[in-house]
Amino acid sequence: MLSHLVGCIDAWIPASVTIGMLWGLWTPVDGRRASRPIVGALAAGILGGIVIYVVALHQDTITAARACLYAAVGLTAIGNGALLFLPEKRSKIVCRIGWGGACLFTAALSAVTAFAFVAHVTEQSLSGIAVLNTELILNIGGLLAGIALVTVLIPLTAHVTVKSGRRMACACLLLVSALLVMHSGAEVLLALMRLDLLEPSRMRLSFVAKVTKYSSLFPYVQALVVLALSLVFFARRTAIAHDGLTGLRKAERRKVRSNSMAEMRWFMSALATVAIVLGTLLLYDLYGSRPPAISPPVRLTPDASGLIRIKLDEVKDGNLHRYAHVTDDGHVVRFFLINRFRGQNSIGVVYDACMLCGDQGYLQEKNEIICIACNVRIFIPSIGKAGGCNPIPLKHKVEGGDIVISREELDKGARYFTAVVSIGVKDPVTGKELNNLKAPYRYEYKGRTYFFESQESGEKFKQAPEAYVGEQQARYERVQGYRES
C-alpha cells in the first residue's frame, strides 16, 4: 500500500503544485477565479497522456513518445517562466497571454505525468494473484488515497499562491519550473541516446546521472514550496484586533470573523496536507523502501579436526539460527539451521543462498521462510530439500546431541557467496604473509583464490599449481547447480 501511495505522490505532486500556482497567478482582471481553462487543460492532458501511452505501447515507441512529452514540458516550462516577467498590471492582453501559457504548460505537464503514472501502474502489479485479496484492496486504497491527496493539493496551492503575493508566487514557480526543465532535459537526452539519435558523451551521461540521482528529492522540494507559500500567506493575513471590531455592526463583525476563520482553515488544511505528504515520503524513504536485512550471523570456527559442532538443544526451538564460516581465502559462507517440525528434532541444515536468486539470504515469518531476492515463501518443513528457490542443502551429520558440519563441506559452498572479508593469507610459493584484500597479485584455481606477493610468484604457481597446494577438490561453481556428491 505504502509503495503505491508514494508512487502516486511522486508522479503527481509536481503537476499538482505547478498547476495550483498557475491557477493562482493568472487570476483574470475582474478578480474571479477562472477554473474552467485550467481544469480543461488538465483533463485534456491526462486523457492525452493515457492515449499516447496506449498507442506507443502498441507501436513499440515508448521511448520516443516519452521523449516528445518531456520535450513539450521543458519548452512550455521555459515559455511560462518568461511570461512571469510580463508587467504586473493585469490588462486583458496580459491575462490572455498568461492564461494561454498556463494552459499549455498544464496540458503538457499533466500529459507526461499521466503517461509516466500509467506506465508505473502497469509495471507494478497490484496483487500477486488474480482474485480479490487483502493485498489488492490495500494497494488500490493506496492509489486512491494518493490521488485524493494530490487532487486536494491543487486548490490549496492556488489559494495560498493568491494570498502570498505575486513576487513570492513567481519566485516559487520559477524554482519549480527550473526543476522540471532539468528533469525533462535529462529524460530527453537519455531517450535520444537510447534511440541512437545522439552520441553518448561524458558530459551528457554525467548530467543525466546527476539529475537522476537527485530527482528523488524533487517531491520534497515541491512540498516545501507549498509550505513556504502557506507560511507567507499566514504572515500576510489580516489579524483581527478586538478594538477593531468594536465600531462594526453585528453583521459586519460576524462577516469579518467568518472570513478570518475561513483563512485559518485554508492555512491549516494546507499545513496538514504538506505534513501528510512529507511524512509519507519520509516514512517510505527512511523505512518502507529499505530492503529487508538478514540477522547478523554467528561466526563459527572449526575445531582442530576441521569440524563445527552445534548443539541440537540450541536450534530446536523452531526459529531460524544463522551462522557464518570464513574460508581460507576470505569468503564468508553463511548457513542456517531450523527445526522443521516443532516437538521433534528434525533440523534443516542449509546454505543461506539459493541457486536461482543468489546470496541475499532468507528471513523467517511465522511458519514460512522468505527469499529476500524474490519474496518467494517457503514452507518450513521443505527446508533441506533441493530445487526451486529452496536454500541449498548443506551436508552434515548428527552425532549424539550435536549437528556436525565439516570445513570441507562449508568450503564447497564458498562459490555461492560474494562477500569477502579481510584475513591474513600466505603466498603459496614464497610463504610470505599477506592480506587477501591488499595482495598485489591473485590467481583463481579450481574455484579457490590464491594470493601472491608479486606477479613473478603468481606465474610460477600457474605453471605447476599442484606442486604448491597439492591435489584439491574443486569448489562448485554456481552455474553447475547443487550436487549431492
Residue 474, pLDDT score: 65
Angle between helices 250-283 and 134-164 (to 10 degrees): 130
Per-residue pLDDT, 117: 87
Q: Which residue has the higher pLDDT, 196 or 94?
A: 196
Q: Which of 26-30, 83-87, 176-180, 197-201 has the highest mean pLDDT?
A: 176-180
State the CATH architecture for 298-416. Answer: 3-layer Sandwich (2.102)
Q: Which of 29-38, 214-223, 255-264, 473-482 has the lowest mean pLDDT?
A: 473-482
Query: Which amino acid is residue 278, in one-letter code?
Result: L
**pLDDT reading at 482 higher than 70:** no
Rounded average pLDDT over 147-163? 89
pTM for the whole structure: 0.65
pLDDT classification of 478: cutoffs 50, 70, 90: very low
| Structure confidence at residue 336 as a pLDDT band (50, 70, 90) | very high
Looking at residue 100, what is its pLDDT? 82
Q: Which residues of the chain are in CATH 2.102.10 domains?
A: 298-416
pLDDT value at position 50? 93
What's the chain's average pLDDT? 84
